[in-house]
Amino acid sequence: QSRDSVGSLMNGFGIAVLAMFVLLVLQFRSYIQPMLILAIVPFGMIGAVWGHAFLGLPLTLFSMFGLVALSGVVINDSIVLIDFINSRVRDGIPVQKALLESGERRFRPIMLTSMTTIAGLIPLMLERSFQAQLLIPMAASLAFGLALATFLVLLLVPLFYSLYTKFLGLFGMSVTEQAD
């Protein structure tokens, strides 16, 4: 039953990622920018696995539920950053300056979102009651995955965006043409 549940969850997760990709394509009017956003999700999953190892927890079905929730939060953080970068570029700011500004101006909202989520999960992870033992792997996936992903969102999204603009430049396009 567990194998069937994990398989079903993975199918649902795949459908959810596809739906998120389609929505992001419609929002950003680009096929590449949604990939930049979704590229951070695996890094969050690595953080979740490390968190399980650190706490000595096995990966369970509830850990997988945490990974699904984690992907939504990580994607939100990435959207906040990409949207800000796009708006600055549309305002005529050079890409490199927009990337630096995005890190400065969106750092606090991204950190606050992540830190409040992690802080809310700490009491559950520290709970020792029998009933909480089922939910602790989910909280660990979300908290540890988010801790690593938040750091990487602030680092990798601007890096990926910079590479994206260089890629567009190879074809004689600019980000503003892509965003219009």
Q: What is the pLDDT of residues 59-72, one digit of tens each?
A: 888 888 899 899 98
Cβ neighbours for 155, distance < 8 A, ≥ 6 positions apart: none
Higher pLDDT, 115 or 1: 115
Output the pTM of the full model: 0.85
Q: What is the pLDDT of residue 134?
A: 87
pLDDT in tens, 33-60: 999 999 999 999 999 999 999 999 998 8
Closest CA to 99 of 77, 113, 84, 80: 84
C-beta of residue 66 within 8 angstroms of C-beta of residue 55: no
Question: Given phi > 0 = left and psi -120 to 50 = alpha, else beta, which region is 58?
Answer: beta
Structure tokens at 150: 């938040």
Question: How many angstroms from the chain centroid is the CA of residue 82?
Answer: 12
Query: Residue 147 above 90 pLDDT?
Result: yes
